[in-house]
Amino acid sequence: MSEQHFPLAVGDSARFIKTVGETDITMFAGISGDFARNHIDETYMAANGRGGRIAHGALLVGYMSTASTKICDKLPEDAPLVPVSLGYDKVRFLKPVAIGDTVTVDYCIEEVDTEKMRSRSQINVTNQKGELVAVASHILMLVAREKLFG
């Protein structure tokens, strides 16, 4: 596979913007099974100084995944190499995200390893105030199409 060209470059980027709604948090709780009070109990959160429920950190990781999909959408659909996520490292949730907050996920390729056919990207998530609310590093690998789809 080393003779293949890695079609993404350092500096390539993608952005995803989403306003977090009550439905997003409620449906994510149902899908994930995470019914922690800080996500589903408005009264509890209001009484504890937060002012309301907050989004699941894993929901923000889902938004990060959307940004990685957007970078992969830059590849031709019939390309001989198919992008596969190898995962997220150094995931940190720095500030709570409330219902009604608008988050911007910025995904930027920082490193490309053409021998391993991998890239490492920095992901920064900010809220509508420009505050950094989450960060992560993402590893993307390109795999020969025939290995995935035989």
The CATH superfamily label for domain 13-21+55-149 reads Hotdog Thioesterase (3.10.129.10)
Helices (H) and strands (E) in the chain, counts: 5, 5
Q: Tens of pLDDT along 97-113?
A: 999 999 999 999 999 99
Cα 107 to Cα 136: distance, rounded to the nearest angstrom = 9
The amino acid present at 79, given as its one-letter code, is: A
Greater model confidence, 64 or 50: 64
Q: Tens of pLDDT along 59-94?
A: 999 999 999 999 999 888 888 888 999 999 999 999
* Prediction pTM value: 0.90
Residue-level pLDDT at 22: 93
Residues 9-24, mean pLDDT to the nearest whole number: 96
Structural domain spans, the chain: 13-21+55-149
Terminal alpha carbon distance of the chain: 16
Residue-level pLDDT at 2: 42
Share of the chain above pLDDT 90, in %: 75
Q: How confident is the model at residue 50 (pLDDT cuts 50, 70, 90)?
A: confident
Cα 51 to Cα 57: distance, rounded to the nearest angstrom = 18
φ, ψ at 79 (rounded to 5°): -60, 150
